[in-house]
Structure 1
Amino acid sequence: MKNLYIRLIFLFAGLFLSSSCSEYLDKEDDVELTVNAVFENKTKTENWLASCYSRIPDPTWGYARSIGTEILADDMTPSERWRQYDWQVIPFALGDWAVSSQWGPGYWNQLPQRIRECNILIKNVKPIPSQNLTEIDVKEMIAECRFLKAYYYSLLINTYGPVPFNPDEITPVDFDLSDLQVGQTPYDEIVSWIDNELKEAEKVLPPSYEGKKYGRATSIMCKAVRARMLLFAASPLVNGNPDYANHLSKDGKPLFNSSYDANKWKIAAAASKDLIISAAAAGHKLHVEFNTAGKIDPFLSCQRLHLVEGTGLENKEVLFPRVNVESKEYDRHSAPTGSKGSGGYGVTQSLVDAFFTANGLPITDPASGYIENGFSGEDGYWTYGTTKWNESKKAGFVTVAGTYNMYCNREPRFYLAVNFDRAWYTDGANAGKDQGRKLEFFNGGRDNNHTHDAPQNGYLVRKRTDPSRDPLREYFAPRHGILYRLGEAYLNYAEALNESDPGNAEILLYVNKIRERAGVRTYTTGATDAQNIHVDGDQASIRKIIRMERRVELCTEGIRYDDLRRWKLAETVLNGPAYGMNFNGKTEAEFYKRTVYQTRVYRKAFYWFPIYLDEIEKNPNLVQSPFWAN
């Protein structure tokens, strides 16, 4: 290794650490350096570490456009004709997916490269007292790389299932091709290694950072990655799934354990509870804002938790941030055409239907008060407490007179997540000036020019968009992305606890923390009243309400796709017609009708990404992902 030459291209503007460590991530010229030369210099050492961070996904635009965890699920739907602009996952959602399909994020090739960079740093980093790189700094850098290695492997197994696994590998310059032709390691073995590696890293890393170091790996991030991975590992897709009983490595070893292990749910529950306790000790809590009466304002709380910068000070709900994400394009593509946005990034009708009504009940409940057809006769107001969320109308205003009844009398999170026809919209140019307008999504309306830059099924996404954006003047406020937040941890814990210890009082306790913040009635196994909704306490009933809550609370955050996969529901939910309002409709009678705008296809093979055909041909020891044919 001492003679290994590596071409280092220090292009770090936009890397994960660019804002948190900007003092040493300036662009340098291309340069040939030995490994020794890198790790004899503090700045170059820190640059190397920054490169190790560079493959952490962008949870705003990256998830939306290229990674696909939002588009492939049933939350979000881009204009289908955007595939001409290299939206590679749009065809996947329609079933046009093969072992030769290109996929931009390139996990299979690029994550192992970053893992290798981590290994090189771990082996070579050392204190440089003359440059103020201390023993403590080195110890933390090594722990950061251990975290990153484990995190990247968690992404690999989440995407492909079993993968080639050699976590400490550093390929020598004189390698033999056979050294690289490694087969897959069983899924559970990799999970076990990741679990242990994260537990070791968290012993060294601090629980939080503030200021310039915000976004660097922490013990809380270790616990968050571990808790999410263990929940997935306990779930039906990989815990006793008979479909994979015959999925074997080239040497005949089962790559999945097809025997159900109930203890995995206990391990997952314990990991989530450990995360919750540790996060609270580190000062993390749900993001809550209050109205003028001193009560929780659900609109501001749920909207601004995605907009308020973390930096360790303002937003304590964020457990795993990704600094400097590409929020500009997300805001542009979800902004209506009539306000000079790209106007074609929408949500599905099934997500619209998933939100509760104002009294906290699903629209399928006869007591919910839901009305689908017809139009409201007057402006609608949030009657369960005032809010200063929408300053363009009176306090508590949510819908204008003449709104389709489907969108009236819904819970706060609905109005924060969905832009619908006749929704009140204030663009950045008019924000704070008591001005706004109604959205026009019918054919020929201001926001539907009947091109690919228009709401293809009658909706645009509102969640996580910045209300101050102004596409006309190219103003888009930067913000951090959120890869993991405390609200998810609460729901993960509730789910794992219900599967491992049904009837435990903490299950509803943590679900209700989410609902209280959202301004909807909480659940009780007792009698229904003005504040509570009765729910049967059996495991199946509680499982149902947890899944409904996850769908609403975590929608459009890149989590729904993995939920459907791990529950083994993707084949059912993601197959068949997708509905919305009629994009072609020019009149109320034409526009306001449930219309099939797309037919989706999801095959059993799609639970895992295929290994690209070229990789299979290069490596005879690989086996293709389950149910994919080369």
Structure 2
Amino acid sequence: MSLKKYILAGLMGIVSFGSCTYLDKEPDTEIDLGMVFENKTKVESWLANVYSRIPNPGNDWLNTYGWEVFADDLTASARWQQWDWTNITKILGGWTPNTKWDGNFWDGLPRKIRQAYIFIENVHALPNADLPQREVDYMKAEARFLAAYYWWQLLETYGPIPFRPNYIAPTDFTLSDLMVGQRPFDEIVSHLDNEMLEAAKQLPPVWQSVEKYGRITSVMCLTIRAKMLLFAASPLVNGNEWYIGHKNKEGEELFNSTYSQEKWVKAAEACKLLLDEAEQAGYRLYVEYNAEGEIDPFTSLENVWFTKFQDGNKEILFPYTKQDAYQSYQFYTNKVVTKEYGGGNGLGVYQGLVDAFFMKNGLPIKDNNAKYVEEGFSSEKETRVTEWTGGTGQKGEVTAEGTYNMYCNREPRFYTTVSYNGSWYALAGRKYEFFKNQKDNDYTHDAPQNGYLVRKKVYPQDNPKNGSYKWRQMFLYRLSASFLDYAEAINEAYDDKVSREEALKYVNKVRERAGVRQYTLNTVSLDDPKYIHVDDNQLAVREVVRMERRVELCCEGSRWSDIRRWRIVESLPEMCGDDYGMNYGGTNSNEFYKRTVFQTRVWKRAMYWMPVYFAEINKNTNLVQAPFWN
């Protein structure tokens, strides 16, 4: 192909991305390709632009893409639809192959993939401009991974997609060159698996230079690879009879309907490779300690979101370092903070998530030995050994006297994730008041429609009214999630006691930091202060792994992927029917503390995948619609 060509800003414009000098580049509106790769600054800017579609976990996962509201973790006020919150419309049933989706993967990601391929083909060393071959090799590996990562985002979102790896359309292309049909799911995964692994081999696990923090590492490559292979081994795409007969225009089955145990083995091996590489490089769970020298789960769980990698938060596997990235959490925060301080006050959690958190003794509330009490109010405050002040404003106090019993004696993750009526509102220096017409519920579109707000990831003193926000280290994935990825994969890969013990070992690492009892396959008494017995079979271990993922990773975008790949959405009442919370129309305790329907969701089997827009199918007759959308 001709080297000299012009790339218009709307298609291939160079944009600023990162937080370090390397990634902070000004855009060029129209540039000659030959000029780009003879100029170090423009080379770096081109690569920075390839980086620019890494998802922003602040605004993107919540509002733009919808990952956090599509599942049954977070719920936004339904009346925000009047401000074009189309993802709310989707969960209420208003979803067709013509429905707007701001994620725009189908159009946007192929552009970045193409930019990555052009970069790989044209970048070369510039010894006189301080761009040595070793740096060029790193850059090529970064671009190679990013192309594979964007392909995977497309595949995970739409299912089988048109796939032409390493292809760059020539300048004299004809329209027929671009009319490509979908390729089988497993074929694409196999290629991307190799690409991510090869990129990982060429990159360091940690950049020694602080200025390079945020650039792709081997650990980032292996993290996405492991998650991709976990998805590919899961029931949605591993032996799913739903998709028999879903073929491309060439007559090829796009999904393999024959179950493969080997996919779980491969996923387990990928997860373990990641964990071994991460451990060797110094990655570890973030922990803080209380006055007695023990892990303080409350401060650990809260501050993992506000502590930099360079300040000791080695749990971060995949950082997001755009210079003003943390400001996107202002959007998230603004939807939680009450109107008193300039916020929207309508982003809450489902009652189902409240119920999913364990009790202080580590048991789920449905367990007869959990000592869960739902109704009535506590007669005294509860204290624990912690430096955390988020319970009542006083160090060590978790709940105050008179707290509704549903919220008493729960595990630390509950208190650092959920704001409920009577919980501490640090910004205001008082308790939350969620009864109708109280301070925090004016009964409008900006009110906790289900009696809860989300607390996780929100800095307690963030104040939209005066523009005061805590800087935070943003990231897409962390080590605790990869521990649970491995626990799931190893349990499914090998149905034996050794593998189940290995799975529980990594679940227990997460539970130890969370301040709840460990699991064991051994027989122990019900009152054992350290352990909880789990039956020695694959199904029992699968259940505890899934319960742990539900609470540890809630409100982080993972739940949407999990319930899809497990193919369980139809079994989740709050995903396909009435959604419950407390009664925010209640003016007193008797009225408020009742499980009350606040919205009704609509689910269709087609929704496991995003549809292909009708307009795209009309343009490219080689495409087929995603399953069940016709």
Distance 1:309 1:509 in 2: 27
Task: Tell me what 2:466 maps to.
Answer: 473
- Alpha-carbon distance between aligned partners in 1 of 2:104 and 2:307, rounded to the nearest angstrom: 31
Distance between the aligned counterparts of 2:23 and 2:474, measured in 1? 22
Counterpart-to-counterpart distance in 1, 2:206 and 2:413: 29
TM-score w.r.t. length of structure 2: 0.95
Paired letter, 2:90: F
CA deviations 1:459-491 (Å, max 9, x no partner) are 000001112312221111232322111101111
Paired residue secondary structure (1:334): coil
For 1:327 and 1:157, the matched residues in 2 are separated by 27
Counterpart residue number, 1:404:
404
Deviations 1:403-453 (A, max 9, x none): 1111111000000000000101111xx7xxxxx200011110101111111
CA contact (8 A) 1:328 1:478 kept: no
Aligned to 1:45: 43
How many angstroms does 1:25 deviate by? 2.5
In 2, the alpha carbon distance for the partners of 1:490 and 1:563 equals 15
Contact 1:355 1:411 in 2 (8 A): yes
Q: CA deviation at 1:389?
A: 4.4
Identify the residue that residue 558 of structure 1 maps to in structure 2. 557
Residue 365 of structure 2 corresponds to: 363
Q: Distance in 2 between matches of 1:229 and 1:500?
A: 16
C-alpha distance in structure 1 between counterparts of 2:391 and 2:419, whole Å: 17
Letter in 1 for 2:186: D
Question: How is 1:280-299 mapped onto 2 (pairs within 5 angstroms)?
Answer: 280-299=279-298
SS at match of 1:367: coil
Task: Tell me which of 339, 342, 345 is aligned to 2:344.
Answer: 342
Residue of structure 2 in register with 1:433 after alignment = none
Corresponding residue to 1:516 among 512, 530, 539: 512
Distance, in Å, in 1 between the alignment partners of 2:59 and 2:84 is: 14
> How far apart are residue 165 of structure 1 and its match?
0.5
Q: How many angstroms does 1:58 deviate by? A: 1.0
**1:91: which partner in 2?**
89
SS at match of 1:368: coil
Task: Using the TM superposition, give the Cα deviation of residue 126 of structure 1 relative to its aligned residue in structure 2, in angstroms.
Answer: 1.0
Provide closer, same or farther for how the CA distance between residues 389 and 296 of structure 1 changes in structure 2, counting only shifts above 3 A: farther
Larger CA deviation: 210-219 vs 3-12: 3-12
- Note if contact 2:305-2:457 (Cα within 8 Å) is conserved in structure 1: yes
AA aligned to 2:3 is K
SS at match of 2:99: coil
Q: CA deviation at 1:23?
A: 5.5
Deviation at residue 11 of structure 1 after TM alignment: 7.8
SS of 2:415's partner is helix
**Partner AA of 2:242 in structure 1:** D
How far apart are 1:501 and its partner, in Å?
A: 1.7
In the TM superposition, residue 571 of structure 1 has moved relative to its aligned partner by 2.2
Q: 1:439 aligns with which of 411, 432, 438?
A: 432
Letter in 2 for 1:520: V
Distance across 2 between alignment mates of 1:151 and 1:235: 19
1:619 corresponds in structure 2 to 620
Tell whether the 8 Å contact from 1:66 to 1:88 is kept in structure 2 after alignment.
Answer: no
Please give the residue correspondences for 1:140-289 in structure 2 after superposition, counting only pairs within 5 Å.
Answer: 140-209=138-207, 210-289=209-288
Larger mean CA deviation between 359-368 and 323-332 belongs to 323-332
Letter aligned with residue 521 of structure 2 = T
- 1:60 offset after TM fit, Å? 2.0
Structure 2 Cα separation of the partners of residues 24 and 69 of structure 1: 27
1:305-324 to 2 correspondences below 5 Å:
305-311=304-310, 313-323=311-321, 324=325
Contact 2:582 2:593 in 1 (8 A): yes
Contact 1:240–1:261, Cα closer than 8 Å, also in 2: yes
TM-score scaled to structure 1, two decimals? Answer: 0.95
For 2:412 and 2:270, how far apart are their aligned partners in 1?
31
- Give the CA deviation at 1:395: 3.1
Residues 598-622 of structure 1, C-alpha deviations (whole Å, 9 max, x = no match): 1111111000000011101000000
Change (3 A) 1:12 1:347: farther
Range moving further from structure 2, 553-562 or 82-91: 82-91
1:449 aligns with 2:447: no
Structure 2 segments unaligned to the other structure (5+ residues)? none
- Cα distance per residue 1:147-173 (max 9 Å; x no partner): 101111111110011000012121222
Consecutive unaligned residues in structure 1, runs of 5 or more = 431-435
3-state DSSP of counterpart to 2:309? coil
The separation in 1 between residues aligned to 2:17 and 2:442, in whole angstroms, is 38
Who is 1:541 aligned against? 540
Distance 1:108 1:33 in 2: 25
CA contact (8 A) 2:299 2:386 kept: no
Task: Return the alpha-carbon distance in structure 1 between the equivalents of residues 23 and 600 of structure 2.
Answer: 50
Q: Partner of 1:329: helix, strand, or coil?
A: helix
Whether 2:507 is the aligned partner of 1:506: answer no
* Pair 1:512–1:564, CA change in 2 (3 A): same
1:331 Cα shift?
A: 1.3
Separation (CA, whole Å) in 2 of partners of 1:296 and 1:113: 46
Q: Distance in 2 between matches of 1:560 and 1:174?
A: 44
Aligned to 1:460: 453
Quote how far apart the aligned CAs of 1:380 are: 2.1
Q: Pick which of 335-344 and 70-79 moved more.
A: 335-344
Name the CA distance, whole Å, in 2 between partners of 1:165 and 1:393: 55
Q: Deviations over 1:355-382 (max 9, x none)?
A: 0011111111121111111111222223
